[in-house]
A = this chain, B = another copy of it.
């Protein structure tokens, strides 16, 4: 029953993920052939620095000319694990033009240029699959675009960056401050030398853009995602969170807006109750909650990064794309028919936890409460703590538009009796 002519695969990039893809392709050839229905051959591996290729990667397949590899004419599938915008974008486009389908793990590129790449794939009758771009090995793209294709997704709420979850988990469990926890993450290889993309939320924002687009069948770009990093989360914030029965996570949140005519996508640190399943996601693990109209609440959990997990996702896509090639069909492409616009952060309805340093004298609470009332933000709880002339007020609000909450905080800063705003954090997952 099996076709004997192999499907030929070009691998672009051979770092942590690529070398693992190459290893599995060359050691599990029989299983891959059985699952695809034809042999799958690793036909070439393009790298920038051939001297750095890891042991075990077939040396005779290595080339530094990625363009020539993609243009060879006999390549059925291009696996792109280079990352970044260029040359990845040009190579993927060239792959489509030469009849190849593409499996990519490139979240930054998909979040920025997903629509154009999907259009190019469709124009050339090719597939563009990218399960590995979001949350490593965790099946998320396929469940959202296939398993839930008959349902209406209302909300996606997830921990999609392992580095920041590791840091926040350390801060929570050990009481460490941000820089101490970052140092530990760096020492253990969980954070890169320049951790900006992770700790400032850029990585999570790219994933949020991809997830929101698939979940709501509309186009969401990286620029549409509101983003706050987690570098300003303090040990004191964790102490406050504990007093509320919460912990702090960096969350990616994609929601339909109240009236159903728009969507929002955002990344920021937030308090979530300890009873929420996301609260117990430890170390560098990822987990994503999906709320759908018929399905209810689903959660997907697993390793969100790393060579092997990401390679697992790449290879799952590779099998699917190869099967499609054999069937002369393509899998689901971009689905953006709802054309729902992305609303700005101002319109997001959420809750705030605000910690104020205030003068320790009568009437302060009344003043503060008046400011909230003037902005029509309803207070859920207030906790006053005072010692030696200093006092703090912790206010947790009911749900209100982010714009109203921001305006409230601005007005609070102007009160004489408010010496400072120690921390502001959104409260989610309730």
Contacts and interface: CB of A to CB of B under 8 A. Distances in A.
Interface stretch (A221-229, A303-311, A372-380): A303-311
Contact of A312 (B295, B300, B327): B295
A388 interface: no
B143 A312 contact: no
Interface residues of A, number: 57
Contacts of A138: 298
Contact of A149 (B298, B303, B320, B327): B320
Contact of A314 (B150, B293, B306, B327): B150
Interface in A256-303: 277, 280, 292-303
A24 B311 contact: no
Copies, count: 2
A323 interface: yes
A300 B302 CA distance: 9
A148 interface: yes
Contact of A332 (B152, B311, B323): B323
A143 B150 contact: no
A139 B150 contact: no
Given A294-B24, A297-B302, A301-B298, A319 B150 contact: yes
Interface of A: 20, 24, 28, 31-32, 34-35, 131, 137-139, 142-143, 146-152, 217, 277, 280, 292-303, 306, 308-309, 311-320, 323-324, 327-330, 332, 335, 337
